[in-house]
Chains A and B, each alone.
Chain A
Amino acid sequence: MKRDYQSQYYTVFTGASSSSTSAAGGSGVSDVRADVAGKSKMWVEGKQPEAGYDELLAGVGYEVKSSDMFDVAQKIEHLEGVLGNDDGLSQIASDSVHYNPSDLSSWLESMISELNPIVQQPVVIDDSFVNAADDLQAIAGNAIYPPEAKKQKTSPPSTAASSSTNPNAIVLVDSQENGIRLVHTLMACAEAVQKDEIQLAETLVKQAGILAASQAGAMRKVAAYFAEALARRIYRLYPSSQRDSPAFQDLLQMHFYETCPYLKFAHFTANQAILEAFSGKNKVHVIDFSMKQGMQWPALMQALALRPGGPPTFRLTGIGPPSGDNTDHLQEVGWKLAQLANTIHVEFEYRGYIAESLVDLEPAVLDLRDDEVVAVNSVFEMHQLLARPGAVEKVLSAVKDMKPEILTVVEQEANHNGPVFLERFTESLHYYSTLFDSLESSGGGGDGAVEGGGILPASAQDKIMSEVYLGKQICNVVACEGPDRVERHQTLTQWKTRFESGGFEAVHLGSNAYKQASMLLALFAGGDGYRVEENNGCLMLGWHTRPLITTSAWKIR
């Protein structure tokens, strides 16, 4: 029994593979002992190992009770996982006193309890999983996956976590630890993809899939989407370049609009900037690069209708991609808006322009009139232009030709356009994790007492559609390259540089926009998590400490 422990432990420390353990048997152990005994002569003054302590480790200066050996192994593995977490490292770097390191067991415990106080849970690791873990050991080290698991407490494998390929599924109950493992696996896979180590990447992406299934909530979904995107990249199953029909994209975006406040925030803050730019003017013209279903404009029309002095003549030009099917989608949206305008007595004129990409837009066809004031609006459209070199500059100069009073831009606040794949992957993993987290909190229960006008059908469908919407973005960032990769998000600072070199300067969004945005967010369930921040005159909406989208306004210098 004792010998088994020793050989097992020896394996963990020196990195020999599991198959060599059994072969080593007695002779291997005695060889090591001789070796260690030789070394221990260096510590001649050191104490003799007391009864009950492991002799091997005592020889190198650690006192570990044999009965504790298994626990120590587990804790080392755990510590390694925790150390991988950045927060852990910063805490270690701080001045903290740890107990006597020669008492290995309690030292580990003190380290772990400082870094990450969670309770050790029983873990079942399947044998077949371990055999396939050779590749993993190459990067993660043996501490992560101890070779033998027979001595551990077992619990029956849960059918929920079983994957179709592996009937003896892994039940990893300690989900926080596995969350860390999952992130590690995803990152390791991305690194392997970056280095073009396809075999390794394949193994890792499968691990990631299995680990993801053991998680719950937002983590599970994010991990699943990222794992899928990585798999697409590895197996070159790129999403078809023929994108989803605009109607389907619009539908997904509508659900996203309803579930969480990001789009509403975008619309309300942009509208406020446009409203202020239009104050006192009698003929106004809005050119919308992101027409979709036109959800932004009813609120603006209502505000114009109620402004002191009465509404101006409101002209709207909507720009959108071709519909695919034979319907003229842009025109239909225009009809509905016209109906609304008629209801609230605002003089309204509408024109729709179909353009495959914004680059194709010519200001001359827009029928710009001298006596009207122009505003240009773009919600989540600018970043797509970065897929084609020179496109942004061309569009910005076209915008300048339109002579707008104001240009409102709403973009994701993240850098998903770096040249290095691994950096993009890391950035987007953090970004979408935060986004999914916020979705998780905003999902309505549909159960129990409901606040306002009646019980509405559960918004589970909305939430799922929103997740699909975001999942498509994830897939695009991770799996696509070249002109297909259109989700090229950039941060405000980067956009600022571009706009300024394009001849624009920033316009500060006023306090009205800020107040309205704060109020809007307070209405949402989970409203405490959302934060509005003002950053150099631009407004950022974020979840807890992480800004997620930014509204900014620009005018010609």
Chain B
Amino acid sequence: MVHIHDHDAEPYRFSINDHLDLLIEVLKRLDGRSLGAAACVCRKWCAIARNDSLWEHLCFRHVSPPPVGVRPVVSALGGYRRLYMVCVRPVLSRLKRRRIGGESEVVRRVWSQHEVELSLSLFCVEYYERLLVGGGRVAGDSPASSSLKFLCMPVNV
């Protein structure tokens, strides 16, 4: 028996990089840590994972009801990725820990309007602080300035 390999019909290999829309759909469902890790895989993934709309989705996908008109403000103040890193993540985990103290999953909680407002206010204060410190210029990816240090300090559990 002779097996004739048809060279034109190669075995189909699926590469996610050929289907970026699928990749984005997958990334949308990740938590913050995994999204950050995904950005370290390769340059292409880095570019995609840094897309602010992904982080917007991460910040507010569990907000009920979804906030209106927030995007221009957040973008102007530094973007959703920064908002997540600097405010949303610490706020959520601190508040969750105080209430339930059980699960370690940060994501599966519905925010309240108050938590959104508080995070946004803190984010704005942080932007202003960078203005004060930077003498009028705001560096792009500078580390969180001092007024939010308290969010980064270890909390007694």
Identify the A interface with B (CB < 8 A): 257-259, 261, 268, 293-295, 298-299, 301-303, 305-306, 308, 335-337, 339-340, 343-345, 442, 444-446, 448-454, 456, 459, 462, 512, 515-516, 519-520, 522-528
Contact = CB atoms under 8 A, between A and B. Distances in A.
Nearest to A259: B150
B45 to A, nearest CB: 21
A450 B152 contact: yes
Contact of B90 (A261, A445, A451): A451
B115 interface: yes
Contacts of A308: 68
B20 interface: no
Contacts of A302: 73, 77, 120-121, 123-124
Contacts of A516: 114, 117-118
B76 interface: yes
Nearest to B99: A522
A448 B151 CA distance: 15
B63 interface: no
A306 B73 contact: yes
A525 B154 contact: yes
B41 interface: no
Contact of B152 (A301, A344, A454): A454
Contacts of B149: 258, 444, 456, 459, 462
Interface in B127-149: 127-129, 131-132, 136, 143-144, 146-147, 149
11 contacts: A258-B150, A306-B120, A340-B131, A444-B149, A445-B153, A451-B94, A453-B143, A456-B144, A523-B150, A525-B156, A527-B155
B72 interface: yes
B85 interface: yes
Q: Which 4 interchain pairs have the tightest Cβ spacing?
A: A444-B153, A302-B124, A298-B128, A299-B121
B95 interface: yes
Contacts of A445: 153-154
B125 interface: yes
The B interface, classified by DSSP as helix, strand, loop or mixed, is: helix
A452 B88 CA distance: 10
A515 B151 CA distance: 18
Interface string B74-118: 001100000001100111011100100000000000000011011
Which of B85, B90, B118, B127 gathers the greatest number of chain A CB atoms within 10 Å?
B118
Given A299-B124, A343-B127, A449-B154, A522 B98 contact: yes
Contacts of A335: 136
A343 B94 contact: no
A453 B125 contact: no
Contact of A520 (B67, B118, B153): B118
Nearest to A268: B121
B70 interface: yes
Contacts of A520: 118
Contact of A452 (B86, B95, B156): B86
Contacts of B118: 516, 519-520
Given A306-B120, A519-B118, A523-B151, A451 B93 contact: yes
Contact of B114 (A295, A343, A454, A519): A519
Nearest to B152: A452
A519 B115 contact: yes
Given A258-B146, A462-B146, A336 B136 contact: yes
